[in-house]
Amino acid sequence: MAGASSHSSASLQLPPSLCCNTYSVCYLSESAQWCRVAAGVGEERSEAVSYSNSDCLMGSRLCNQLFHASYVSGAFGTKWSVKYNQQEICAIKGSTVFMNGTFTLPEGLTVTETFWTIDPVPGVEPTDLSKEPDYSGRVEFFTDDQKHFSLKLSDVMKKDEHQFCFKIKTNVEKERWTGVPGVQLRVTELLVEAPEEVTEGQTADLTCKTTCSLTDPTFIWYKNGHPLTKKTIKNNQLHLQTVSSEDAGSYSCAVEGSQDLRSTAHSLRVRYPPKNVSVSISPSGEIVEGSSVTLTCSSDGNPPVKNYTWFKEGGTSPVGSGQNYIIINITADHTGLYYCEAQNDHGALRSAGVPVSFKGYPVILYVALGVGLCFIFLVVLTAVFWRCSESRRKRQDGNTDQPIYANEGQKDHSPRPPPEDKSSVYANVAVFKKQR
């Protein structure tokens, strides 16, 4: 739509009923109407005529010439102009966007009202955008004495994809202006495009995609919610040179200045052979003869390990399979180094050997047994010495009543009466010697 000034041009004439719409595209009118040119020139036509494609093309060229003339040279004696800093803006969904520009108007006119509107239709009075229910509370208009103007649109939505135009009203009813074409708003979301799964050692590129072209964006990449600073980022791509298992995770992207408006996270899986294969023993500590022990094999791999195989050092064949290997009623024959082998679709890896040692009974049992035997030996020895001492004392007491000294070289063959009360002493000595 253009201003209401009604001037004609001798040099540029439109065919009857051939009009220029707000996008400077040719179309034909089928009834009497005001045919408004983007440059502010309008002619009333009453004929209903059909035109060929060549006529339509010529009309489009005239539209472009008139549009250019109004903005550059001020043709037809007008000084109306609306210039936008950008004719098209690409914004991220949820962000805040600004549309800026400047305007001029003929001398002697005073601006009484300015506002923004969307998708103006020729012949239809535009609506103030701030009064539209879908934009209430989301738009702000700004103008100054230098004829700068601006629109602030918050929380941009996909349904905001329209052509936004600046409207000027003056103190003269017919002198008003709509700046067409306006600013075309495109709304995009960020999307991570990447393979879902890669194999360790390969390269991978992750792309932060948009449906329209952002203005000089600086892309930021995140892994598991944390910004990546040591990876190669070029334009909107994240390049993983040699993929490792540590690169697996959830990736998202954002644009600097709108870091809170991240893309939906993309999960990257990495296929790799088993790693960190290890063996644990339960129960831990000393293994006693006759008890049971369980060996467990642990590993990290993608896809998960399918097969676990157990080996004993020195053997030529496996001793078991499965993630757990159980030894029941352990004996000395079970001692040795055990290790497991983990295998998936991408390879296999063996653990380090883990010793299984037969400790027998605990040392404390042997210590207790030794102490007990020593104590018993001391008790017996003490009793023996006591009995010997007691016998010797009693024998000495008996000799004091009747000395029995005799010359070793002489024998007394005279009969001697047997002692009456000393027999018990000799009997004890005889018993004592027999026990020894």
User: Cα–Cα distance between 406 and 355 in angstroms, integer?
Assistant: 79
Show the beta-strand stretches assigned E in 30-145. 33-36, 42-45, 81-84, 88-92, 97-104, 111-118, 139-143
Say whether pLDDT at 355 is over 80: yes
pLDDT digits (tens, 9 = 90+) for 184-237: 999 999 999 999 999 999 999 999 999 999 998 999 999 999 999 877 788 899
Closest CA to 356 of 277, 278, 280, 276: 280
What pLDDT digit, counting tens, does each position of 42-71 carry? 333 333 333 344 444 444 444 444 444 333
Query: At residue 367, what are phi and psi to the nearest 5 degrees?
Result: -65, -45
**Poorest-confidence range of 21-35, 72-86, 330-344?**
21-35
List, in order of start, the domains of the chain with CATH numbers. Answer: 18-76 (no CATH), 81-187 (2.60.40.10), 191-264 (2.60.40.10), 272-356 (2.60.40.10)
pLDDT in tens, 228-283: 987 778 889 999 989 999 999 999 999 999 999 999 999 999 999 999 999 998 88
Tell me if 342 sits within 8 A of 278, measured CB to CB: no
Mean pLDDT along residues 109-125: 91
Query: What integer pLDDT is reported at residue 334 of this predicted model?
Result: 84
Say what the pLDDT of residue 419 is: 53
Q: Taking the CA atoms of the chain, what radius of gyration do you get in angstroms?
A: 55
Q: Using DSSP bridges, classify how beta strands 320-321 and 266-282 pair: parallel, antiparallel or unpaired.
A: unpaired
Mean pLDDT of 123-150: 92
